[in-house]
Structure 1
């Protein structure tokens, strides 16, 4: 019997259950996928804890995976058994050996992209794609600040910035993480454990600050992000690794220099195949060329999903974590 991770109530890692689960044959418009590698992301923790609401309980978990098509349902075109595919757009349930997924939520993997690379980069890489290419299209010579530059999203962002000729100033905790971000392509890295981030940004920009701040950390870095944005600059708050930002007084944006703020999600920028296809093609092209190399720092058996999430939540990991079905 195939296995999956599910949860029947919200809470800590202890609510995760490793259970038998037969997804059945694909229905109309669906594809049955056998996962080969599964990505672990902060959004999975948000669903587990209840910060984001699952459609119903008990629920599967996970949004990112790569594997092989086992069967296709009625009306499905463009996919066939044996095709290599990746998923990052739902529904919940990638923490599983087998999953039924709507065909509209899948993309084919090119030959130059391995299962591990896809599972380590689809959600994170497509996040960077919309951050850098859609919210505000970055140009060579731009200077930006990117928090958690040694994390899974951050390391892809560092590499993508280098491709674009963007000067990325990263933040990371500790010398090892700072060096990792620097090697990935960050022009400068600030160790937030021992340095004043705002002061260093002022020094590195000759007092001008940056036009765009990318903040996937949330509560702990919100005030810092506002102080690092130049007048009429943009703060992109795209994650809640330290907890959600709440109690925002809009008057602060005026006081800090008529700032702009957005709280985007990948689901909005990758809602349809027409949106997903060019974004994923750009990401996969960079991976296949070697310009972006997804960093897989740790692999865990599927049954140890709770341990993987605990490691991710500790914010001591670097790169991407994978589950092996």
Structure 2
């Protein structure tokens, strides 16, 4: 089969289309999927660059996929051949014609969504749900701020928060991203590149601040988040690209707190809850993946380049298989 692989860590150029990769076989509790599309996440770029856990070479890139179940291994009861599915983690790599995934990391894909849209679900929607619902315990009526509201996790978090009756504001880095995030459901979106946007964000809550902040760039925003949180406010850190110098005393009077999220560290029980919520969201319509750009397999390196270089996101980057 064909698969996008790399034989050493490095820049996007290390990605190459291999044409004679052995087709994988599912083991116990595993599902073999014929892949139709694969999503590109920041996590994929960290793995490729050697900034995540070590991998064996050659390594097939990709976590998020969408496709059709080809066969199942012993112990699989939730899925059957012919089922439309998505993944948020695979055993053999997602950007390939076939992939094997543990059944805990697979979910059903509703017929209302395309495979390309399905490839946007995995890590972004699972991360959004775990951050907003399981960790932050956000409730209807809460004021929620989503930094990077036009990116993959930002899109999912906005849709989930709005569906749960929360008041959602966001930030983005371009005029296009601001318009995109508003169209996706944010009440107000502010350009985080402009001075004064923090005061604007506070003003939108009548000075009260935010109950929950979903943070994509803690190395940039953490000190501001301390000011933006209200009493008992919670900030969930989805991403950070560096160190930050802050004073913990800023959290004491408000009794606010920060917490990181790692969806791949979720328990089986958490994964089942998230999968059930997202499958229900597909049926009710709040799960509406948004695609920024699409690339064929032979241009996977260009997809990775775009992800790391774009100044403003407008949804998810995918690779068609």
Q: Which residue of 2 is the match for residue 119 of structure 1?
A: 119
8 A contact 1:197–1:224 mirrored in 2: no
Unaligned 5+ runs, structure 2:
none
Q: Look up the match of 1:18.
A: 17
Q: Does 1:295 align with 2:290?
A: yes
**What's the RMSD between the two structures over aligned residues?**
2.2
Query: 2:320 maps to which residue?
Result: 324
- Which digits, 9 at most, give the CA deviation of each residue in 1:176-231, with x for residues without a partner? 21121112111111112234232112222232221221111232222322332224
Alignment partners' CA distance in 1, 2:98 and 2:88 = 15
Give the total of aligned pairs.
319
Please say which of residues 13-22 and 102-111 is displaced more in the overlay. 102-111
Correspondence for 2:309: 314
Could you tell me how far 1:255 is from its partner in structure 2?
A: 6.3
Select which of 246, 255, 264 maps to 1:267. 264
Quote the offset at 1:124 in angstroms. 1.0
Assess, with a 3 A threshold, how the Cα gap between structure 1 residues 225 and 92 changes in structure 2: closer, same or farther. farther
Tell me if structure 2 keeps the 8 A contact 1:66–1:119.
Answer: yes
Range 91-100 or range 70-79, more displaced: 70-79
The answer on 1:276 being equivalent to 2:271 is yes
Q: Is the 8 A contact 1:31 1:69 kept in 2?
A: yes
- Post-superposition CA distance 1:65-89 (Å, at most 9, x none): 0111222234433333222221103
Greater mean deviation of Cα atoms: 195-204 or 144-153: 195-204
Deviations 1:231-289 (Å, cap 9, x if unpaired)?
A: 4422211113xx14x356663554684431111111233x31x4323322222322333
Separation (CA, whole Å) in 2 of partners of 1:38 and 1:18? 14
Distance 1:180 1:247, change over 3 A: closer
Structure 1 alignment gaps of length 5 or more: none
1:251 paired with 2:264, answer: no
- Residues 74 and 285 of structure 1: CA distance in aligned 2, closer, same or farther (over 3 Å): closer
